[in-house]
């Protein structure tokens, strides 16, 4: 997702954009992870199979949450 601004953004504008982008990614990954878990339940998979099937989403979600938290801390520190 590219965000275009007409002039060079200030540091706080960049930080707001980073935080918004990272939060959006977390939302999308959470929805995908939740849908995959529901699909696993609908297929009658065991918990172990569901965890194995959704592990890549769990890893991506964990990383995205970390990125969003870092962006949030940077945003807080600038104000």
Residue 9 binned pLDDT confidence (cut-offs 50, 70, 90): low
Domain boundaries, the chain: 11-77
CA angle 65, 69, 71 (to 5 degrees): 115
What gap in Å lies between CA 79 and CA 71, rounded to an integer? 13
Q: Which residue has the higher pLDDT, 39 or 2?
A: 39
pLDDT in tens, 28-59: 999 999 999 999 999 999 988 988 888 988 89
What gap in Å lies between CA 75 and CA 68, rounded to an integer? 10
Is pTM beyond 0.85 here?
A: no
């Amino acid at each position: 997702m590219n965000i275009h601004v007409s002039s060079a953004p200030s540091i706080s504008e960049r930080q707001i954009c980073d935080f918004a982008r990272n939060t959006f990614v977390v939302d999308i990954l959470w929805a995908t992870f939740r849908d995959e878990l529901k699909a696993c339940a609908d297929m009658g998979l065991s918990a172990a199979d569901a965890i194995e099937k959704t592990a890549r989403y769990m890893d991506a979600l964990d990383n995205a949450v970390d990125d969003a938290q870092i962006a949030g801390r940077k945003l807080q520190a600038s104000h």
